[in-house]
Amino acid sequence: MSKEVSTVRLYLLRALYLVNLGLLGPTTWPVLIKHQGLTDPLQAVAYSFWRALAALSIPGIRYPVKMLPLVFVQTVER
């Protein structure tokens, strides 16, 4: 049995990371840039998690298998 990941699966993982970046990036980063004061701590933690997920999707596009635990965290979190 081959231990390599098929090309189709690699492209699907890359597409997943690209969708993460495309959907989470524009919605979470402007909140940090336009920050105007104190916020609810729980809301701040949630935004931090989503920003980190968006930021870590960038290396996931280049290294989809190495960043696979990121997908597991995302599916368990929801």
The answer as to whether 21 is a domain residue is yes
Residue 1 has pLDDT above 60, yes or no: no
Domain contains 1: no
Within-domain flag for 68 = yes
Number of domains the chain is built from: 1
Residue 2 pLDDT = 61
Interatomic CA distance for residues 9 and 31, integer angstroms: 33
* 19-68 confidence digits (pLDDT tens): 999 998 898 888 888 887 777 889 888 888 889 999 999 999 999 999 99
- The pLDDT tens digits for 19-31 are 999 998 898 888 8
Residue 20 resides in a domain: yes
Confidence of residue 78 (pLDDT cuts 50, 70, 90): low
**Is 2 inside a domain boundary?**
no
Contact 32, 16 (CB under 8 A): no
Whole-number pLDDT of residue 33: 85
Ramachandran category for residue 37: left, alpha or beta (phi over 0 → left; psi -120 to 50 → alpha): left
CA–CA separation, 41 vs 74, rounded Å?
21
In a domain, 24, yes or no: yes
Structural domain includes residue 48? yes
Task: For residue 25, give its domain range.
Answer: 7-77
Q: What's the CA angle centered on 5, arms 72 and 15, to 5 degrees?
A: 55
